[in-house]
Structure 1
Amino acid sequence: MRKINRFLSLRFNTKKVLLRFFILILLITNFDVVEGQNKGNVLFIIVDDLQPMISSYGAEFVSTPNMDSLSKESIQFNSAFCTYPLCSPSRASVLTGKRFRFQNHTNDEEGPSTPSINEVIRENKSLGELFKKNGYFTAALGKVYHGHVPEPDVPYWDLIYDSDSKKRSMEEWSTMTKENRGGRSDHIWKIGNKLKPAGALVWGHLDVKDDYFSDGEAANKACEIISSHKKKDPLFLTLGFRRPHLPLFAPSKYFDQLSDENYPVFASHDRSLRPFDITPKNKGLWNEGMSDKESQEVIKAYNACVSYVDNLIGKVIDELKKAGMYDNTTIILWGDNGFHLSDHGLFRKNTPWQVSNRVPLMIHSSAQKTKGEYNGVVEAVDIYPTLVDLLDLKTDMKKTEFDGKSLVPIIQGNLEKDHKEFAMITAKTRIGIVDRKHYFLLDSVSAEIELYDRMEDPSQLKNLADSSLYDDTKNDYINKVKAAWENVPWRFSKQ
Structure 2
Amino acid sequence: MKKIILSISLVFCVFSTRAQTAQDRPNILWIVSEDNIPMIGAYGDQFATTPNLDAFAKESILYKNSFSTAPVCAPSRNTLITGMYPPSLGTEHMRSVYPVPSYVKFFPRYLREAGYYTTNNSKKDYNTTDQLDAWDESSDKATYKNRKDGQPFFAVFNLMTTHESSLFEPLPKLKHDPEKVTLPPYHPNTPEMKHDWAQYYDKIETMDGQFGKLLNELKEAGLAENTIVFYYGDNGGVLARSKRFMYESGLHVPLIIHLPKKYEKLASVGPGTKTDRLVTFLDFAPTILSLVGIKIPDYMQGEAFLGTQQKAEHPYAYGFRGRMDERIDLSRAVRDKKFRYIRNYLPHKIYGQYLEYLWRAPSVKSWEDEYKAGRLNAVQSKFWQEKPAEELFDIEADPHNIKNLAADPKYAKDLARLRKANEDWLLKTEDVGFIPEAILSDIAATTPLRDYAKSGKYNFKHILETADWASSRKPAYTNDLIKRLSDPDPTVRYWAATGLIVLKAKTGKDALTKATNDSETAVRIAAAEALYYIGEKALSIKILTEALTVKNVPARVQALNALSNIGPDAAPALENSKILIKETPGMFDYDSRAAKDFVTRFGKK
**TM-score, with structure 1 as normaliser:** 0.66
Shift of 1:373: 0.8
What does 1:44-443 align with in structure 2 at a 5 Å threshold?
44-101=30-87, 104=93, 116-117=96-97, 119-120=99-100, 124-145=104-125, 152-162=130-140, 222=143, 225-226=144-145, 229-248=147-166, 257-267=175-185, 292-341=190-239, 346=240, 349-366=243-260, 367-368=263-264, 370-371=270-271, 372-394=273-295, 397-398=297-298, 401-408=299-306, 419-428=313-322, 429-443=330-344
Instruction: Give me the CA root mean square deviation.
Output: 3.7
Q: Pick closer, same or farther for the CA change 1:248–1:347 going to 2, 3 Å.
A: farther
CA contact (8 A) 1:121 1:152 kept: no
Secondary structure in 1 matching 2:332: strand
Task: Give, in whole Å, the separation in 2 of the partners of 1:67 and 1:348.
Answer: 22
Residue 252 and residue 352 in structure 1: after superposition, are their counterparts in 2 closer, same or farther (change >3 A)? closer
Q: Is the 8 Å Cα contact of residues 22 and 115 (structure 2) preserved in structure 1?
A: yes
**Matched AA of 1:339:** G
Query: How far off its partner does 1:88 sit?
Result: 0.4
Which ranges in structure 1 are unaligned for 5 or more consecutive residues?
1-18, 107-115, 163-217, 269-285
- Alpha-carbon distance, 1:311 to partner: 0.7
2:28 counterpart (37, 42, 45) = 42
Change (3 A) 1:251 1:54: farther
Per-residue deviation, 1:105: 8.2
Q: Which amino acid aligns with 1:235?
A: F
Match of 2:184, SS state, is coil
CA distance in 2, matches of 1:39, 1:456: 43
Q: Is the 8 A contact 1:426 1:432 kept in 2?
A: yes
The Cα shift of 1:471 comes to 2.2
Q: Which residue of 1 aligns with 2:531?
A: none
Matched to 1:476, the amino acid is R
Structure 1 pair 105/152, CA: closer, same or farther in 2 (3 Å)?
A: closer
1:326 and 1:313 mapped to 2: Cα distance? 14
Q: CA deviation at 1:250?
A: 12
Contact preservation (8 Å) 2:72, 2:243 = yes
Who is 2:568 aligned against?
none
Aligned to 1:485: 426
Task: For residues 242-284 of structure 1, give each alpha carbon's deviation from its aligned partner in whole angstroms, at most 9, with x where no partner exists.
Answer: 121122179999965434542122335xxxxxxxxxxxxxxxx
Q: Which amino acid aligns with 2:427?
A: E
Q: 2:340 and 2:70 mapped to 1: Cα distance?
A: 15
Give SS of 1:484's match. Answer: helix
SS in 1 for 2:23: coil
Please give the alpha-carbon distance, in whole angstroms, between the structure 2 residues aligned to 1:105 and 1:368: 38
From the superposition, tell whether residues 313 and 435 of structure 1 become closer, same or farther in structure 2 (CA, over 3 Å).
same
Distance 2:394 2:154 in 1: 39
Q: How far 1:134 moved relative to its partner?
A: 1.2
Q: Equivalent residue for 2:502?
A: none
Percentage of pairs with the same residue? 24
Deviation at 1:82, TM superposition (A): 0.9
Q: Secondary structure at the match of 1:465?
A: coil
Distance 1:387 1:246, change over 3 A: same
In the alignment, structure 1 residue 466 sits paired with structure 2 residue 407: yes
Q: Give the partner amino acid of 2:235.
A: N
Relative contact order, higher structure (CA 8 A, sep 6+): 1
Question: In structure 2, do the counterparts of structure 1 residues 259 and 230 end up closer, same or farther at CA, with 3 Å as the change threshold?
Answer: farther
Q: Which position in structure 1 is the counterpart of 2:416?
A: 475
Shift of 1:49: 0.6
| CA distance in structure 1 between the partners assigned to 2:255 and 2:97 by the alignment | 23
Larger fraction in strand: 1
Q: How far apart are residue 128 of structure 1 and its match?
A: 2.3
Code of the residue aligned with 1:93 in structure 2: it is T
Structure 2 alignment gaps of length 5 or more? 1-6, 323-329, 348-387, 442-587, 591-605
Q: Aligned partners of 1:241 and 1:69: how far apart in 2?
A: 19
Quick one: structure 1 residues 480 and 133, their matched pair in 2 at CA, closer, same or farther if it must change by over 3 Å? same
Distance 2:224 2:176 in 1: 30
Residue 158 of structure 2: SS of its match in structure 1? Answer: strand
Asked whether the equivalents of residues 92 and 118 of structure 1 are also in contact (C-alpha less than 8 Å), the reply is no
The amino acid of 1:68's aligned partner reads D
> Which letter maps to 1:490?
V
How many pairs align? 368
Between 1:64-73 and 1:87-96, the stretch displaced more is: 64-73
